[in-house]
Amino acid sequence: MIQIGVDPDETVAARRARAARLVREQHGSDLVVLPELWTVGAFAYESFASGAEPLEGPTAEAMADAARDAGVWLHAGSIAERDPQGPLFNTSLVFSPSGALVRTYRKIHRFGFDQGEAVLMSAGTDLVTVPLPQTTLGLATCYDLRFPELFRALVDAGAQTLVIPAGWPDKRREHWTLLARARAVENQSYVLACGTAGTHAGVRQAGHSIAVDPWGETLAEAGHDEEILTVDLDPARVTATREDFPALKDRVLGR
């Protein structure tokens, strides 16, 4: 997980080039994850429209090249996506090691109540899982973390590793780490929650990207600053946890 900082003094083009370089440096990893809206900044609402890109825009192009050069699966975090019909979405992009854009996920729960993302972006509607050779990813973004029913639906769709890019504010950092661990425990899944470093639009970011195993144990947790977290996942741990403590099988509601 690359916990990149959104520094308002760095141009988006410079940050894009830096992110691509950081991804290339992860050659040898299987999966690389970036945070939410690391181009425009999750709280820089005034830059959503001006910084929005189509799916085949410069960020997707740079990330596709980086994934291919590094030979990794790349969850490139999210971009402000300009749909050809006009609306904006907060859209995550997943690339294969050959640089193909294999899945996109439009954030379902928009943050801000009656402001910011909640009014500037449109809501996604589709659950997205990504089968990799080693595990199946379930995709969610930032505020989605507060909605356990989304994660349960992802598990029902086959997810074993829940990936959550975010631009979570430091003010609610305790919620971020607590909910990341809760989602891992209740869904008996790995959680890879990749936050943002730095301060933008006056909002200090929580950082504290966290990798949690299916038993709820924290495998690694970042600090506040830019950092790269590298963890080993054992896909067999998900199956073993679900077999040894089969709570998911005891569900009564919502099956």
Ligand X SMILES: O=C(O)CCC(=O)C(=O)O
Q: List, by residue number, the catalytic residues.
A: 36, 107, 142
Question: Nearer to ligand X by C-beta: 2 or 108?
Answer: 108
Task: Out of 67, 168, 191, 238, point to the residue binding ligand X (CB under 6 A).
Answer: 168
What is the C-alpha to C-alpha distance for residues 86 and 12, in angstroms, rounded to an integer?
22
Q: Which two tokens stand for residue 176?
A: 């971020």
Quote the DSSP letter at residue 123: P
Task: Candidates 63-71, 96-104, 169-177, 242-250: pick the segment binding ligand X (CB under 6 A).
Answer: 169-177
Cβ–Cβ < 8 Å for 42, 144: no
Nearest to 166 by CA among 177, 182, 156, 155: 177
What is the C-alpha to C-alpha distance for residues 183 and 169, in angstroms, rounded to an integer?
19
Secondary element (H or E) of residue 238: helix 236-244
Binding pattern to ligand X, positions 108-147, x when CB under 6 A? Answer: ---x------------------------------xx--x-
Q: Would you call 13 helix, strand, or coil by DSSP?
A: helix
Task: Out of 12, 42, 62, 140, point to the residue binding ligand X (CB under 6 A).
Answer: 42
Question: Nearer to ligand X by C-beta: 124 or 167?
Answer: 167
In the bound complex, what is the minimum distance in angstroms from residue 166's beta carbon to ligand X?
7
Binding pattern to ligand X, positions 63-102, x when CB under 6 A? Answer: ----------------------------------------
Secondary element (H or E) of residue 154: helix 148-156
Which positions lie near ligand X, rule CB under 6 A? Answer: 42, 111, 142-143, 146, 167-169, 172, 175
